[in-house]
Amino acid sequence: MNYNFEQFPALESQLLSLVQLDENHKGDLFRLLTIPEVTRYFPVIPIAKENDLLKKIAYFKQQFNEGSGMRWGITLKGQQSVIGTIGFSSIIPHHKASIVYALHPAHQRKGLVTEALGALLHFGFIDLGLRRIEAEVMPGNTASERLLEKLGFKYEGLLQQWMNWEGKYCDIKMFALLNEQAVF
């Protein structure tokens, strides 16, 4: 593990920059997280106005400071607008973390999440020294299932009543990728 959580890392891929989210991104996040297509399989507390995102951004910073999570904004290289988010939650150092991602529909089906996840997985396995990266997928989200399988993730099973979302318990499909299975 070469990373110490002192400075938030900027990550890059061929087409994308992954940047630390801050208060300047609240408008982009509001536009992203109020699209029903984006939040259909992505549990988000209802957002009424842009300033509601300031608490979420502060939470992301708190997770980073505690070493328990990291959340990046996805931008096209050379542009400032955030078109999606990606990151780790539930980080257990030298062991595992869960990934989360969302992308604006105008940018979906262009390989951008695949590219962003490639950068994230490399950082997680190489810099964070993770052994396992998990993805929790809501049943019906076949696009995410196909994406994860394309990246080498294995379906491990259905976790019944794994989470409470909008007042009801939901099942989750667990996918995981081990360090030695990852191909960069």
Residue 87 lies in a domain: yes
Asked if residue 102 is part of any domain, the answer here is yes
Give the least confident one: 10-14, 42-46, 134-138: 42-46
pLDDT digits (tens, 9 = 90+) for 28-58: 999 999 998 888 887 677 788 888 899 999 9
- Please check the confidence at residue 166 and state whether its pLDDT lies above 80: no
> Is residue 176, in this structure, part of any structural domain at all?
no
pTM above 0.85, yes or no: yes
Q: Is the residue at 163 inside a domain? A: no
Which residues constitute the domain of residue 29? 11-134
CATH number of domain containing 65: 3.40.630.30
Inside any domain, residue 27: yes
Q: Quick one: pLDDT at residue 172? A: 95
Long-range contact set of residues 63-71: C-beta below 8 Å, sequence gap at least 24:
63/89, 64/5, 64/8, 64/20, 65/5, 67/5, 67/91, 67/93, 70/8, 70/9, 71/21, 71/100
- Could you give the number of structural domains in the chain? 1
Residue 125 lies in a domain: yes
Average pLDDT, whole number, for the chain? 93
13-48 per-residue burial string, b: 16 or more CB within 10 A, e: under 16: beebbbbbbeeebbebbbebbbeeebeebbeeeebe
Domain annotation covers residue 53: yes
